[in-house]
Amino acid sequence: MVVRTQSSGRGVSGLLLRKEDVRRHIPKNTVAIELQLGELCIDCPLPPEFWLGRPEICDRRLRDWLEFKILRTRTCRLPMVLEMTPIGNNSFRLQVPAGCDGAEAAVEKIVARTASGSEISSPDPEPPIRPESTIASHLV
């Protein structure tokens, strides 16, 4: 499944999952999942908000790994698309799709590797940006 890094403003805070992927790959009321991060394996607790429409995985060890292994080489702080592959019961492998530099290329690469193309799809679209003139008219 496709996941994105989540930012808290000062740096990465964790991962943002799609609600559809959560329903498909993580049994309801699961309290923790195991993430395989290369050679490192960590258990990440899922807070109650995870099941209430905020499917975010926030863990200090995950954040440190993302900052050190993936994001430190990037000059851009936009969310990065990663691949989270189920490898067992509530266990997933997190990795950068091979040969991918940008978010769009990563999504295309993952979808191309999926036989049917229906298991993995692009992340939720960003909300539309309102023109400045609309925003300014509300301030007057």
Average pLDDT value over all residues in the chain: 75
Neighbour tally for 56: CB within 10 Å = 15
pLDDT 10s digits, 21-71: 999 999 998 999 999 998 899 999 999 999 999 999 999 999 888 888 776
Is this model's pTM higher than 0.75 or not? Answer: no
Higher pLDDT, 72 or 84: 84
CA distances from 127 to 25, 64, 75, 79, 90 (A): 25, 28, 24, 15, 30
Express as a percent the part of the chain with pLDDT over 70. Answer: 62
CA dihedral 66, 45, 114, 76 (to 10 degrees): -20
The domain ranges of the chain are 2-139
